[in-house]
Structure 1
Amino acid sequence: MSSGHLPSPTSPRSPTAPSTQHRASEKREYYGFVLYLSSFVAFGTYLAWALLPDEILHALGIYYYPTRWWAIVFPVYILGLIPFTILMFTGINLRRTPPLTSFDTVTDDCANALSIPLDPNKLRKLFSEDSIPEIEDIPITLVNQVLYEEM
């Protein structure tokens, strides 16, 4: 074999050449480590502000800081944002979902439509626990019949 077919050490295909992706992941690791350490410093500062008496803070040369009322209110606000965020995302998704009568729910020619008759009883037999169905698109009318109509 000639050595002309082997990649050179400076070639981008060489396994020893550093890739751009590897350098980017190293940079993210450094940022993540700094963020990790910063979060502990911030939490320690928060605990010192919330728990140490004024005399100790003044002895450390710290005179200007928020009132201790914020030490309780700020975490409560953050805890209140969690259910608010969940409810807002749920509401936005429900608002953006088109109604079942909308033309946005109609399939196109590229859909792999279910090829059985629209009979809910046959559909239940087809999707029993003993069988593994093929991947097909189920029409929304059939889904509504199975889910919301009594048989």
Structure 2
Amino acid sequence: MEEWSPPSSPSLVVRSPRQTLSLLRNRHPGRESRSPPTSTSTSLSGGPKPSEVYGFVGSITTVIATTVYLAWAYMPERCLRSLGITYYPSRYWALAVPAFVIVATALCMVIYVGFNFLATPPPTSFNTIFDEYSRERTMFDPANANATGEEEEA
């Protein structure tokens, strides 16, 4: 029994998709690179993933928005005016918006459970019985009326 041996050319050995892309990117016509790229060259050539960038920007935006909201909700008006902030929404909305979001979320959950109860057949329905002898209800198709498997005789 023969043992497996790696290919003779190290440029044919691919260890990851990122290395494959870097090999294609760094390929020069007429000159073949015989050594695989190092781990530092592959990690620097690809750059950050878009999902990492979006996550970072989203987390920074969330922290800034929360800080601005808490400053608006809890700072006295004279402090805001001393900072040069003269136009801002009424303090009523600092309590009204979170209360509205909490009540809307609770109502959505109640409505979701209610729709599930409406979609469930009553306990006395024969649709709730399921065992090895039950089968799904099929609709009668007049175009396929002879679908019993018996062949017609001529």
Q: Determine if the alignment matches structure 1 residue 60 to structure 2 residue 83.
A: yes
Contact 1:7-1:14 at 8 Å conserved across structures = no
**Corresponding position of 2:20:** 17
What are the equivalent positions in structure 2 for 1:1-151 lying under 5 Å apart? 2-3=8-9, 6-7=12-13, 16-18=19-21, 26-97=49-120, 100-102=125-127, 114=132
The alpha carbon displacement at 1:18 in A equals 4.7
One-letter identity of the residue aligned with 1:78: V
The alpha carbon displacement at 1:75 in A equals 1.4
The alpha carbon displacement at 1:96 in A equals 3.3
Residue ranges of structure 2 left out of the alignment (5+ in a row):
1-6, 23-45, 136-154
The 1-side partners of 2:88 and 2:114 are apart by 38
Q: 1:28 to 1:14 in 2, by over 3 A?
A: closer
Contact 2:14-2:20 at 8 Å conserved across structures = no
**What's the % identity of the aligned pairs?**
32
The alpha carbon displacement at 1:17 in A equals 2.5
Query: How many corresponding residue pairs?
Result: 103
The 1-side partners of 2:17 and 2:64 are apart by 42
Secondary structure in 1 aligned to 2:20?
A: coil
- Structure 1 or 2, whichever has the larger Rg, is 2
Residue ranges of structure 1 left out of the alignment (5+ in a row):
108-112, 116-138, 141-151
The ranges of structure 1 where at least 4 consecutive aligned residues each deviate by more than 4 angstroms after the TM superposition are none
The 1-side partners of 2:116 and 2:61 are apart by 35
Secondary structure in 2 aligned to 1:32?
A: helix
One-letter identity of the residue aligned with 1:17: T
The 2-side partners of 1:55 and 1:15 are apart by 56
